[in-house]
Chains A and B, each alone.
Chain A
Amino acid sequence: MTAPVAERDLLGFLEAAVSETPVETTKPAVEPTVASETPVRQLVIINWSGEFDRVMPTLIMANAAAAMGYQTKVFTTFWGLLPFVKDQKRIVGENFMQKMLTFMQRPGISHLKTSKMNFLGMGPWMMGVLSRKYNIASPKELLEAAEALGVEFMPCQMTMDMFGLKREDMIEGLGEPVGAATVLELMTQPNTASLFI
Chain B
Amino acid sequence: MTLTDPTPGTVNATTLDARGLKCPMPIVRTAQAIKNVASGELLEVLTTDPGAVADFAAWSRSTGNELVEQTIADGVYRFVLRRK
Give the interface of A toward B (CB within 8 A).
41, 60-61, 63-64, 66-70, 134-137, 145, 148-149
8 further contact pairs, Cβ within 8 A, besides A70-B62, A137-B21, A145-B28? A60-B23, A63-B28, A67-B59, A134-B22, A135-B22, A137-B25, A145-B25, A149-B32
> B28, A67: Cβ atoms under 8 Å?
yes
Interface residues on B, range: 10 to 19
Give the interface of B toward A (CB within 8 A).
20-25, 27-28, 30-32, 55, 58-59, 62-63
Where chain B touches its partner, the secondary structure class is helix
Q: Distance in Å from the Cβ of B64 to the closest Cβ of chain A?
A: 8
Chain A residues near B32 (CB, 8 Å)?
148-149
- Alpha-carbon separation in the docked complex, A64 to B27 (Å): 7
Give A141's nearest chain B residue, CB to CB. B25
Q: Distance in Å from the Cβ of B59 to the closest Cβ of chain A?
A: 6
> B31, A60: Cβ atoms under 8 Å?
no
Give B20's nearest chain A residue, CB to CB. A135
